[in-house]
Amino acid sequence: MSPAQLKNETVIITGLSNEDFLHRYALPGRLGLSGGSTLVDKAICRAQRHLDPDKRWGAWSHAFLFQGQRLDGHHWVIESDLQVHRKHIQLGVQENRVSKYYNEKLYTTLAVLDFGLDDAQVLSVLKEGLELVANRARYSVRELFGTLIALRHPELRGRDNVLARQSSMYCSAFVQHLFRKAGVDLTPGVNHKNTTPEDLARAALPHITYVLRREPQMGTIEKVRKKIRRRIQARSRLRRIEAAARAKS
């Protein structure tokens, strides 16, 4: 579908696993967003509250680009991320199988954004992404703090990130950089190194957003509360029964 045929639309998808959702909607050149339950995810979502008039937290903490299916039969993504594996650390722009996002405990929410890129634009974003992989562009935690400063001071959003480094980009800055290289500006007026995942989610450029929504799972604290409540109710019933028995005797 071409950009001229698109309009801003959100399609809510339910009843699918992360794997099924991604296999259905993750096509080359589409943008991916994820949210999670880790402290890092929550910190990023909280920082993005400055984008909302009501100071509501952002829904997304990570952004990446879908590369498509390769000769190995797997779907792949290009992203700037920090991953710690056994005896190995990946820090920067990298390629990963999309199966990374099948873990529903780590990636509790997912979205796929289709901006209707044509074949030339898809080729452009993928080519630039692979160029940054080959050149080992780094993930920039430092620039994240620069973006936080810009979020608190909106007049800085269109300027260079105050903590910018060469050959470094965090996830959403990386994605915005790729799209701008293809002539597509997802966040006009915002410097790519001040771009957040929530900025991408709220892009005014016509697009379709596919959001995977599942029933929220009960948290540990709520489970404990319900367990205590059931015990209190059971003891109250037992006391009433004992009191009734004593009254009859």
Q: Cα-Cα-Cα-Cα dihedral of 83, 84, 89, 94, to 10°?
A: -20
The answer to whether 68 and 76 have CB atoms below 8 angstroms apart is: yes
**Residues 179, 231: one domain?**
no
**Residues 150, 140: one domain?**
yes
**Residues 85, 174: one domain?**
yes
Pairing of strands 88-97, 75-85: antiparallel
Q: For residue 223, what are the domain limits?
A: 218-249
Q: The CATH number of the domain where 23 resides is what?
A: 3.90.1720.10
**Residues 135, 227: one domain?**
no
> How high is the pLDDT of residue 219?
53
**Residues 127, 62: one domain?**
yes
**pTM (predicted TM-score):** 0.82
**Residues 80, 175: one domain?**
yes
**Residues 249, 143: one domain?**
no
**Residues 239, 148: one domain?**
no
Task: Report the b/e string of 196-226 with b at 16+ CB within 10 A.
Answer: bbbbbbbbebbbbbbbbebeeeeeeeeeeee
- Total number of domains constituting the chain: 2
> How high is the pLDDT of residue 87?
60
> How high is the pLDDT of residue 246?
77
The answer to whether 234 and 31 have CB atoms below 8 angstroms apart is: no
Kindly tell me the burial class for residue 77, based on how many C-beta atoms sit within 10 Å of its own C-beta (0-12, 13-18, 19 or more). buried
> How high is the pLDDT of residue 155?
96
Q: Which two tokens stand for residue 206?
A: 């016509």
What average pLDDT values come out for the chain (249 residues) when binned by 10 residues? 71 96 97 95 95 95 96 95 70 94 96 97 97 94 95 96 93 97 96 97 96 70 69 78 75
> How high is the pLDDT of residue 227?
73
CA distance 48 to 59: 9
**Residues 172, 222: one domain?**
no
> How high is the pLDDT of residue 234?
76
